[in-house]
Amino acid sequence: MDMTGKTVLITGASRGIGAEAARVFAAAGANVALLARSGDSLAELATEIGDRAVALPCDVSSWGEMSGAVSACVDRFGGLDVLINNAGVIDPISHLASADPEQWAKAIDINLKGVFYGMRAAVPVMAAAGGGSILTISSGAAHKPTEGWSAYNASKAGVAMLTRCIDGENRADGIRAIGLSPGTVATQMQREIKDSGVNPVSQLDWSVHIPPEWPARCLLWMCGPEADEYLGDEISLRDEGIRRKVGLIT
């Protein structure tokens, strides 16, 4: 997939899936705008990638910061072709009846409101330019309750619906909205899940988790026409057919 001349904005880009996506898209020729709260890590990644990367420290749970980051991206690169809503947190891992209300609300602010803010800032820019792709990291947790994950379950279910809403309202403007459910990925989030000891996911052996490069490569594939049949829907990287299409397995 040749992304030369295209601009991609990635939230949660300081590590995990976001950082790997930055590398994969940059290798495909794209300009990459890197967003996360961790300024130092972003700067290191931007330096690694080179002139086609810009680090934009940003708290996605703030509308002002998110809209400002999109504007800064457009000012730097002249447009925005792909938004990857990747930033997310698993905490608080707690039974609903004993969850800390402020932590629970903060998870919603990041995981759900942060995705809305990204979409809200990006869609007018993309629509005015004739279209673009909005790719959002979803989860199996969007569709099945998991012990101790009420904030994560609720936020990811909301994110899945936002993808459907954008598709219904803006497909005619050239907006391609697709979700990606990657399965369990070997990232810091899985370490936090492991440490919690809550629910069967925490008991999984580390060897079963896929590398973050896999969802990153799938996100690149999702920018192409072969993924158009999934517009407004969600792709599962657990699906062996998808893994073959992406070139992850033979």
Instruction: Give the residue numbers annotated as catalytic, written as ranges.
Output: 152
- Rounded Cα distance, 135 and 120, in Å: 14
- Rounded Cα distance, 30 and 241, in Å: 27
3-state secondary structure the chain: CCCCCCEEEEECCCCHHHHHHHHHHHHCCCEEEEEECCHHHHHHHHHHHCCCEEEEECCCCCHHHHHHHHHHHHHHHCCCCEEEECCCCCCCCECHHHCCHHHHHHHHHHHHHHHHHHHHHHHHHHHHHCCEEEEEECCHHHCCCCCCEHHHHHHHHHHHHHHHHHHHHHHHHCEEEEEEECCCECCHHHHHHHHHCCCHHHHCCHHHCECCHHHHHHHHHCCCHHHHHHCCCEEECCCHHHHHHHCCCC
Closest C-alpha to 16, from 107, 89, 93: 89
